[in-house]
Amino acid sequence: MTGKTESRANNVGTESIGVGRFSGDAMSAPTVGVLPTAPQILCAFQGRRFLDRELLRSAHALAELHARRAQIRDAFLVAEIDCRRVELVDDINDWISQEVPQHRQGASLHTESLGSVVDRMARSWVDANQAIDVDGPRSDSTHKHWYHLAELVDGYTDLVTDVAGGRRRLPEK
């Protein structure tokens, strides 16, 4: 996972041009039920296009917003970006509630919505990439950021596996 993403700013969002972080195999990896895998989420952050996957389009938009948010200092624009992030998190949660059956009997409740998990992953992904640009690939700071992202990826994988298997359920919002 060592490439860079170049961005051209446009008002609140950005247009990203992903530069080879993942092989095409990650795109053909099976989903967990209807939920995308962590590699698919990471590819979406990078800018891979998913014409038929609303959740992945929202994940990409979240990564763009986090990248844009890190570049600006205007409080009004930060608030506007944060409002758009909330909308995207809600879009993901709405999609989940329509597409993923919730197993209420015996399934423990997860404390965070899947939209919030994807939003945290997007922020961590942006932070990890910026650490490479600022501190270089071998710095302790860069390692810390990529390690944190790896922990979130593991947590996401465990969560979607448990949700698909009926062992865990997601909060309604």
Domain spans of the chain, in order of start: 5-169
pLDDT tens, position by position, 81-126: 999 999 999 999 999 989 887 777 778 989 999 999 999 999 999 9
pLDDT in the model for residue 32:
59
pLDDT in the model for residue 14:
33
Cβ contacts of 23 within 8 Å, gap of 6 or more: none
Give residue for tokens 């608030």.
79
8 A C-beta contact, residue 141 and residue 135: yes
Strands 168-169 and 108-109: parallel
Could you tell me where the beta strands, DSSP code E, fall in the chain?
5-10, 13-18, 108-109, 168-169
Q: Is the pLDDT of residue 172 over 50?
A: yes
Q: Is the pLDDT of residue 4 over 60?
A: no
pLDDT in the model for residue 51:
60
Alpha-carbon distances, residue 94 vs 38, 69, 109, 115, 159 (angstroms): 19, 24, 17, 9, 17
pLDDT tens, position by position, 114-165: 999 999 999 999 999 999 999 999 999 999 999 999 999 999 999 999 998 8
pLDDT tens, position by position, 20-77: 343 444 444 445 568 999 999 999 999 887 766 889 999 999 999 999 999 999 999 9
Phi first, then psi: give them for residue 143, nearest 5 degrees.
-60, -45
pLDDT in the model for residue 160:
94
| Cβ neighbourhood burial of 119 (10 Å; 0-12, 13-18, 19+) | buried
Q: What CA–CA distance (Å, rounded) separates 22 from 101?
A: 30
